[in-house]
Amino acid sequence: MGRKVHRVPYHLDSMDVKDLPQDELSVILRGADDLIMRGSRSLLSKVLKGSRQKRVLELGLDESPLACHWSE
């Protein structure tokens, strides 16, 4: 018998963004790749926002291509 999966409902707010430039999409995907096996959606959002939270700094995600791109 399989394990029960509890799904957490969530809502994504695009804030009227209809399209992303290809270079920004590539940076987001490269940054998300850094988070595989180390983080979660919430951690990805913190990196995108430029958070200096302890967990982000512990994992060195403040130095990922994603964090560096948005801090320019």
Task: Give one DSSP letter per residue of 10-71, joined into a string.
Answer: -----TT-----HHHHHHHHHHHHHHTTT--HHHHHHHHHT---HHHHHTTGGGSHHHHHHT
Q: pLDDT of 11-34, one tens digit each?
A: 878 888 888 888 888 877 776 776
**pTM for the model:** 0.51
Q: How many CB atoms lie within 10 A of CB 46?
A: 19
Q: How is the chain split into domains, by residue range?
A: 40-72
Q: How confident is the model at residue 2 (pLDDT cuts 50, 70, 90)?
A: confident
Predicted confidence at residue 65, as pLDDT, reads 64
pLDDT tens string 55-64: 888 888 777 7
Q: Which residues contact 46 (CB under 8 A, 6 or more apart)?
A: 53, 55, 56
Higher pLDDT: 25 or 71? It is 25
